[in-house]
Amino acid sequence: MRDPQPYTRRDFLATTALGLAGCATAGRREDDREWRLYVGTYTAGTTSRGIHRLAVDRATGAMRLDGGVAAEVANPSYLALAPDGRALYAASELTEFAGAASGAVAGFARDAATGALAPRGARASRGGAPCYVSVDRTGRYLLVANYVGGSVAVLPLAADGSVGEATSVVQHTGRGPHAQRQTAPHAHCIVLDPANRFALTADLGIDRILVYGFDAATGTLRPAAQPPLALRPGAGPRHLAFAPDGRTLYVVNELDSTLVALDYDPATGALRERQALSTRPAGATGDNFPADLHVHPGGRTVYASNRGDDTLAVFAVAGDGRLSLAQTVPTGGRWPRNFALDPAGRLLLAANQRSDSVVAFRIEEATGHLTPTGASVTVPAPVCLQFADGR
């Protein structure tokens, strides 16, 4: 059993020179009734050796190990699939790589029929402790957020799954009011808008969402006309997610336990705050650190995970776009760092980092509410889950 006390990335990095994180990405198995799921884990201080592979029953959520460890890699922090599903990329949340103060990103060729992964090498992420990766719509570039480095970078991708040297690196500056967590910038997420025109970054250390123009021809980032959006001081923005219509951006804040809805202008990248509300029910006490954020494919429900409360928060989206906290559900474990909705929007899987478990929930079609299916599986230190349809 792990220490039940709150355990942050800062704590983890202080205990090892390999400060790392993990994630999971899944693909659909067309020849049976199962989804294939790749699970990234923390490897430092655990029994894990890298990326694990699971099979998930699409009807019941029942899970089983599918070949065990799919790839050995140091603390795969976050995973992303190429648009065609033929490559998988992992952030290896290191603070030193190849003799430099940097983390790494690793590439793998992927056999869509078997799920097998073949290593294609690793490159420096150009900043310490990368914790998030995403692939642009063309499949030609990987975007990475470096938490300790406080930077974001773009790296080119080859058809065989290998990663090239960075084509663009942007260093953030500044700090926030939190004495322990905001002494420097900490880029925590980078996503592209649906049009592949703008890259948006949540920086926990400076309470900003930064917007960059993205050039898909050259793999470069440039400052957008939209200035950084300042959130409430001490909020600590962590993850971003777009609504299906591409005109609402949600951000979950780790340090003040809030979810914020933002109006997004796809023509300019401009952001405007619409609403902010707590991820916790009224009267909740004790330390809490929201982690992950996902929007239901139908757009009528938003989900966030609470580490500390160890719950999933379910938000209903009204016709006018206003949010309301509709449900909070225990995750069946401790420290739910990440979770994922299946591509059909029928199941939600929660990764409980400190209890070494992935737990399944059924999503009610009419309301988006969650009900435990009773299915769970043991995986050492799972930290991120993400489904991908048709791969």
Give residue-wise pLDDT tens across range 39-91. Answer: 999 999 999 999 999 899 999 999 999 887 999 999 998 999 999 989 999 99
**Residue 325, in any domain of the structure:** yes
Question: 49 is written with which tokens?
Answer: 């050796």
**Residue 112, in any domain of the structure:** yes
Whose tokens are 């090498």? That residue is 121
pLDDT band at residue 388, thresholds of 50, 70 and 90? low
Give residue-wise pLDDT tens across range 184-207. Answer: 999 999 999 999 999 999 999 999
pLDDT band at residue 30, thresholds of 50, 70 and 90? very low
pLDDT for residue 13: 45
pLDDT for residue 17: 37
Q: Structurally, how many domains does the chain consist of?
A: 1
**Residue 119, in any domain of the structure:** yes
Residue 11 pLDDT > 60: no
pLDDT for residue 325: 98
Helix (H) or strand (E) holding 187: strand 187-192
pLDDT band at residue 384, thresholds of 50, 70 and 90? confident
**Residue 10, in any domain of the structure:** no
**Residue 1, in any domain of the structure:** no
Give residue-wise pLDDT tens across range 223-259. Answer: 898 899 999 999 999 999 999 999 999 999 999 999 9
Average pLDDT, the chain: 91
% helix, strand, coil for the chain, step of 5: 5, 50, 45
Single-letter code of the amino acid located at 371 = T
Residue 375 contacts by C-beta under 8 Å, 6 or more apart in sequence?
57, 60, 61, 62, 63, 359, 360
Name the most confidently modeled range: 17-31, 68-82, 311-325: 311-325
Higher pLDDT, 180 or 20: 180
Residue 147 pLDDT > 80: yes
The domain of 184 spans 16-388
**Residue 2, in any domain of the structure:** no
**Residue 336, in any domain of the structure:** yes
**Residue 60, in any domain of the structure:** yes
CATH number at residue 136: 2.130.10.10
